[in-house]
């Protein structure tokens, strides 16, 4: 074997010696190179800290005074320093104020800000695949922290210097070792390997039957004496071999014939085994294909049944949604009198009137009925219109838990406790506060009623990144989501009921006592309107868990509005044209607007309104969205602005036809008001539209 040859051993010894020399000089080089690199890194850190100290007061004053242009100029001056390629400045909350690259636009965490407040940090980082040294520290002025700065020094030149030094060292070392190994190989080959190789080749020829071979006299040393002994042995073996050839010839002939027969038999056996294995493989492949086809057919049948069930449920929900939408529209028109007239009467009655309490009861009952109508609108997928940026923890969960509705619910279930596990760094979502609070309320009510003897309800929020389909959905939009999870330790849900819990009016409770049968349907509709997903886990006796996924938004939370009194939205005698196909609605709107000091003219159709505006003008038009027969509100407004371009208008409807409302708003409609009318929503809508006109 070549690993046992003398040449291999000699070469291995030479290689080992070269390797030891290389390791020694490599260690020396690495030590000095590491020392040189560390000195260079410290120089870079000193440079960055010195540059920052020279500009610190100037930068701090610019941040403190909010001088953005001056700050940009200061940053550009810092970038003139050789080696400094990237800079990022953050305010005291970690939000980016300035950066030279979008890759640096990230919010500093509280942990990072706390660390930078204590002392400056310096380390190595990667920016767009390039190595940089990062120097980060807090920016202070007169002892007060005003922000943070991160400066990045390009280390590519330093890395190239190290790389060039390394390759120069490697080239020099390799050249030296090559020359040394070459000379040693030449000497050893001349005096050791060549004689030894010739002797080995002669012995190999002797082993191959070349008897009588002789080796020339190589030297007088030990190798030469071995060669002479070999020559004598070779001559003796040749003589003995000639004597044996005759007696062995016949025996060798029979042996060759027997060997040939054995080879033929082995070939036949091998061919037979190959044929058996080939046939067995074909049978196994056929069985596997048959099994695969059967499994695929079973999966296809299951998928078909599931799709048929989904289609049936979808058609049922669509039909119920259409029915609910129409009923909600009519009910809103009916409820207008119940909600609006009590407000008007209460404004006229003295404070000590005995009629105030009955009128408030009538108004509150109407508002409760309007809330049920809102559930029907949600079911019809026409309920979510105004979307705003929300903090789910503060504006939905804490707001609901402090509401009178929840406090009343707690008094009915005193043995049930609520445990909160809310993510402090929860991202914001864009949604409807009313529908989200109603969704949370429905989930909490169901959780409490699932634990009649008391128990625990856990409300959890967290951020998550969804990249795989959620159970029950074939596909999802990949991205960041906020998860709202409501868990209970109650009786759970039977498996056959899980597929139906979101159907309207499907309930195991006594209808009329625990609700309207729309609670979970409202939850489902709200999640769909918010482009979210819902996942349910439940088993009998082990409680239930509802997970709601809502897409994240990067917008800021909308400021909360302040409640206003009637005097804040009184009119100034402006002329308002009320257009509605229902006389009761025209009467209600007219009474409210007159009470708010507006001049009112009415029209019972879009055609009548157009006829009036051809010869007259008004300050604002209040349009009903749905009018039958004849033109609807959208078409009426299109023709109005042909007569009076820029005419201000407010759209009103019993439910939100999203596409029509968006089209009307895009044409110039100022506001959208949902029926039934109240003094506040109608007064504020009209006042805002007129305020925009005046501005």
DSSP per-residue codes, 30-50: HHHHHHHHHHHHHHHHHHHHH
Question: Is 362's pLDDT higher than 80?
Answer: no
Let me know whether 591 and 449 are in one domain.
no
Let me know whether 545 and 633 are in one domain.
no
Quote the number of domains for the chain: 3
Average pLDDT over residues 388-404: 88
Residue 575 pLDDT grade (very low, low, confident, very high; cuts 50, 70, 90): very high
The CATH number linked to 631 is 3.40.50.2300
What are the structure tokens assigned to 392, written together?
Answer: 């789910």
> Which secondary-structure segment (H or E) carries 434?
helix 433-449
Q: Whats the size of the chain, residue-wise?
A: 695
In this structure, is residue 363 part of a structural domain?
Answer: no
Task: Provide φ and ψ at 229, rounded to 5°.
Answer: -65, -35
Model confidence pLDDT, tens digit, residues 110-160: 888 888 888 888 888 888 778 888 888 888 877 788 888 888 888 888 878
- Beta-bridged to residue 598, according to DSSP, are none
Domain range for 87 is 2-162
Ranked by mean pLDDT, which of 261-265, 330-334, 534-538 comes out on top? 534-538
Let me know whether 625 and 532 are in one domain.
no
Q: What pLDDT score does 78 carry?
A: 84
In this structure, is residue 287 part of a structural domain?
Answer: no
Q: What pLDDT score does 369 carry?
A: 63
Let me know whether 532 and 645 are in one domain.
no
Closest CA to 202 of 235, 239, 245, 242: 235
In this structure, is residue 200 part of a structural domain?
Answer: no
Model confidence pLDDT, tens digit, residues 492-516: 887 766 666 766 655 655 444 445 5
> Which secondary-structure segment (H or E) carries 583?
helix 583-595
Q: Which residues contact 507 (CB under 8 A, 6 or more apart)?
A: 514, 515, 517, 519
Q: What pLDDT score does 577 carry?
A: 93
What are the structure tokens assigned to 221, written together?
Answer: 């040393």
The CATH number linked to 541 is 3.30.565.10
The residue out of 162, 179, 196 marking a domain boundary is 162
Burial status of residue 588 (CB atoms within 10 A of its CB: 0-12, 13-18, 19 or more): buried
In this structure, is residue 370 part of a structural domain?
Answer: no
The answer to whether 623 and 605 have CB atoms below 8 angstroms apart is no
Task: Provide φ and ψ at 299, rounded to 5°.
Answer: -65, -40
Model confidence pLDDT, tens digit, residues 3-23: 666 667 777 777 888 888 888
Let me know whether 438 and 465 are in one domain.
yes
Let me know whether 409 and 458 are in one domain.
yes
Q: Which residues contact 487 (CB under 8 A, 6 or more apart)?
A: 447, 457, 458, 460, 543, 544, 545, 546
The CATH number linked to 158 is 3.30.450.20
Q: Which residues contact 620 (CB under 8 A, 6 or more apart)?
A: 574, 575, 576, 577, 648, 649, 650, 686, 689, 690, 693
Query: What is the percentage of the chain residues whose pLDDT exceeds 70?
Result: 79
The residue out of 114, 135, 162 marking a domain boundary is 162
Let me know whether 52 and 128 are in one domain.
yes
Average pLDDT over residues 15-43: 83
Q: What pLDDT score does 378 carry?
A: 57
The residue out of 505, 524, 553 marking a domain boundary is 553
Model confidence pLDDT, tens digit, residues 265-317: 788 778 878 887 887 888 888 788 888 878 888 877 776 766 666 566 556 65
In this structure, is residue 213 part of a structural domain?
Answer: no
Question: Is 384's pLDDT higher than 50?
Answer: no
Let me know whether 603 and 688 are in one domain.
yes
Q: What pLDDT score does 54 carry?
A: 84
Let me know whether 547 and 572 are in one domain.
no
Question: Is 486's pLDDT higher than 90?
Answer: yes
């Amino acid at each position: 074997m070549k690993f046992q040859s003398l040449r291999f051993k000699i070469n291995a010894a030479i290689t080992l010696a070269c390797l030891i020399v290389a390791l020694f000089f490599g260690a020396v080089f690495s030590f000095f190179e590491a020392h040189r690199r560390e000195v260079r890194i410290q120089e870079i850190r000193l440079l960055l800290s010195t540059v920052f100290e020279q500009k610190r007061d100037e930068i701090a004053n610019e941040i403190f005074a909010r001088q953005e242009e001056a700050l940009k100029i200061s940053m550009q001056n810092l970038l003139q320093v050789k080696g400094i390629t990237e800079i990022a400045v953050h305010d005291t909350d970690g939000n980016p104020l300035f950066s030279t690259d979008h890759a640096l636009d990230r919010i500093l965490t509280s942990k990072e800000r706390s660390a930078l407040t204590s002392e400056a940090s310096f380390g190595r980082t990667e920016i767009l695949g390039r190595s940089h040294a990062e120097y980060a520290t807090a920016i202070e002025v007169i002892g007060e922290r005003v922000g943070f700065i991160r400066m990045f020094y390009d280390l590519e030149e330093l890395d190239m210097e190290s790389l060039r030094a390394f390759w120069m060292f490697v080239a020099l070392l390799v050249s030296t070792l090559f020359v040394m190994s070459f000379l040693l190989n030449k000497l050893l080959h001349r005096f050791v390997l060549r004689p030894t190789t010739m002797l080995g080749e002669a012995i190999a020829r002797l082993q191959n039957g070349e008897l009588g071979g002789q080796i020339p006299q190589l030297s007088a040393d030990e190798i030469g004496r071995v060669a002479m002994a070999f020559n004598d042995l070779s001559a003796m073996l040749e003589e003995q071999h000639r004597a044996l050839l005759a007696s062995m010839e016949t025996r060798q002939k029979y042996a060759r014939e027997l060997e040939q027969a054995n080879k033929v038999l082995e070939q036949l056996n091998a061919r037979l085994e190959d044929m058996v294995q080939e046939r067995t493989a074909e049978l196994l492949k056929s069985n596997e294909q048959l099994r695969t086809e059967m499994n695929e057919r079973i999966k296809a049948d299951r998928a078909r049944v599931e799709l048929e069930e989904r289609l049936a449920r979808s058609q049922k929900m669509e039909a119920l949604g259409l029915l609910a939408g129409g009923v909600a529209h009519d009910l809103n028109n009916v409820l207008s009198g119940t909600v609006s007239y009590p407000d008007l009467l209460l404004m006229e009655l003295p404070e000590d009137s005995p009629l105030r309490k009955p009128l408030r009861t009538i108004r509150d009952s109407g508002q409760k009925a309007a809330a049920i109508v809102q559930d029907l609108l949600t079911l019809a997928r026409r309920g979510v219109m105004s979307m705003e940026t929300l903090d789910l923890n503060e504006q939905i969960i804490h707001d609901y838990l402090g509401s009178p509705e929840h406090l009343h619910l707690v008094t009915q279930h005193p043995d049930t406790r609520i445990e909160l596990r809310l993510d402090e760094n929860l991202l914001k979502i864009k949604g409807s506060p009313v529908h989200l609070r109603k969704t949370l309320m429905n989930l909490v009510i169901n959780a409490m009623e699932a634990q009649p003897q008391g128990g625990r309800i856990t409300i959890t929020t967290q951020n998550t990144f969804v990249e795989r389909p959620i159970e029950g959905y074939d596909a999802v939009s990949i991205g960041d989501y906020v998860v709202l999870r409501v868990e209970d330790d109650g009786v759970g849900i039977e498996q056959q009921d899980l597929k139906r819990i979101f159907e309207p009016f499907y309930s195991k409770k006594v209808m009329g006592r625990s609700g309207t049968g729309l609670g979970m349907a409202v939850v489902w509709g709200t999640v769909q309107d918010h482009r979210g997903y819902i996942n349910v886990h439940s088993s009998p006796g082990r409680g239930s868990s509802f997970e709601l996924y809502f897409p994240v938004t990067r917008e800021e939370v909308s400021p909360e509005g302040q409640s206003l009194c009637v005097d804040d939205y009184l009119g100034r005698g402006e002329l308002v044209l009320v257009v509605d196909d229902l006389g009761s609605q025209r009467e209600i709107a007219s009474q409210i607007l007159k009470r708010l000091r507006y001049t009112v003219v009415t029209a019972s159709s879009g055609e009548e309104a157009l006829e009036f505006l051809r010869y007259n003008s008004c300050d604002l038009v209040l349009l009903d969205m749905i009018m039958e027969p004849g033109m609807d509100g959208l078409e009426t407004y299109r023709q109005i602005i042909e007569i009076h371009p820029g005419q201000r208008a407010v759209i009103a409807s019993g439910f939100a036809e999203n596409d029509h409302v968006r089209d009307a708003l895009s044409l110039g409609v100022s506001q959208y008001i949902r029926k039934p009318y109240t003094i506040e929503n109608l007064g504020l809508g009209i006042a805002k539209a007129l305020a925009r006109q005046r501005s």
